[in-house]
Amino acid sequence: MMNTERCGIDRISSLPDEILTYILSFLSTRNAVQTCILSKRWINTWASVLVLEFDIEELMPKTVDGKMAVKFVPKFELLVKSVLEKRDTSCIINRFQLSLGYLPCTQVIADCISDAMKLRPRECSIKFRLVAYFNGNIDMIFTCASLIDLHMSVYTHLAIEPNSINLPCLKTLHLTGCVSDDFFKKLFLGCLVLEELVLSCSTRINIEICSNTLKKLVIDDWYEGNRLYISTPNLLYFEIHIMEEILLLNMPSVVDAFISLPDWCNEDDYMSGIPKLIASFPNLESLKLKFDCINEQVHSLCNVLETKICDGHTFCWDF
């Protein structure tokens, strides 16, 4: 067999642009851009890559603390802005991902996110600390008609307040942060094919989840004192990690449920609420309960549930 390395043959560079950009999509955007120094063939190849991923942690030493991390923001801004400015705007992208961690979103980054939405991504994942002015840019995310999958983690006491929501193709939404009082009303009016909703909501509001398309609902965290109203006739999977006041209006299709309670929830009111919750699932086939601690109330509850769940169905609990 001929030794191509000795002959100096560069078979990778001779591949078609479509294959090269596909290969580069497995790299972070920062690494993909760095391939421009390989040869003239690679100078602009990265500009058509289908995935844009930016993570400020790539620019920082692993040992850097929060105060020092802020110093890397200008360098991160320059990277994101320059990539978007030099990108081939005729090429749409499959995925846009940006993470500032717990650092605040700057105006430059906010504008870059808006520009990225113009590239009509199918998937979007962003993580940052919300600042007041960013709500002026947030409409670009919640009106990006191409989005199918949106993961948004916002760490702040400020509420996410889009003026409108129009995501006709969105099927999956994972949302962490505070939301405005009318957010969910706008959400279900503007997301007519939404199938999966994962919430970690820290807002003291009453939330009404009404959807005929939802198949999976996960409430990962909840603000104490909130009320939750649910009407999801086609929901198949329901998961909740805290028990507050829940009014289940219509959930007849749930077949798989997971309920997790922290130790401070092991009180009579919460324990008595679990059988009522489960009674709302007439077609339940699998149930998992998770408790942070074990006590007499927990054992009594599990014994009661075991007798109520029909043979052939799965019931288990974990501590």
Digitized pLDDT (tens) for each residue of the chain, 319 residues in all: 344 445 556 677 777 777 887 878 787 888 888 877 677 777 777 777 888 999 998 888 776 766 678 888 999 999 999 989 888 777 789 999 999 988 889 999 999 999 999 999 999 999 998 887 788 789 999 999 999 999 999 988 888 989 999 999 999 999 998 888 889 999 999 999 999 999 987 666 778 899 999 999 998 866 556 678 889 999 999 998 765 667 777 889 999 988 877 655 555 555 566 777 777 888 888 888 876 655 555 555 665 565 555 444 555 555 4
Q: By C-alpha distance, which of 204, 205, 141 is closest to 173?
A: 141
Whether 1 maps to a domain, the answer reads: no
Distance CA 271, CA 135 (A): 40
Distance CA 179, CA 157 (A): 9
pTM, to two decimals: 0.83
| Total Cβ atoms within 10 A of residue 230 | 22
Whether 22 maps to a domain, the answer reads: no
Whether 196 maps to a domain, the answer reads: yes
Buried b (16+ CB within 10 A) or exposed e, 74-99: eebbebbeebbeebeeeeebbebbbb
| Total Cβ atoms within 10 A of residue 60 | 17
CB 176, CB 200: distance < 8 Å: yes
Whether 34 maps to a domain, the answer reads: no
Q: By C-alpha distance, which of 270, 277, 281 is closest to 310?
A: 281
The whole domain housing 297 covers 74-318
Distance CA 314, CA 310 (A): 9
CA-based R_g, the chain, Å = 24
Whether 268 maps to a domain, the answer reads: yes
Distance CA 24, CA 87 (A): 14
Distance CA 282, CA 233 (A): 12
Whether 136 maps to a domain, the answer reads: yes
Query: Which tokens go with 148?
Result: 């199918």
Number of domains composing the chain: 1
Output the pLDDT for position 4: 44
Whether 138 maps to a domain, the answer reads: yes
Using CB atoms within 10 Å of the CB of residue 28, give its burial: 0 to 12 exposed, 13 to 18 middle, 19+ buried.
middle
Whether 217 maps to a domain, the answer reads: yes
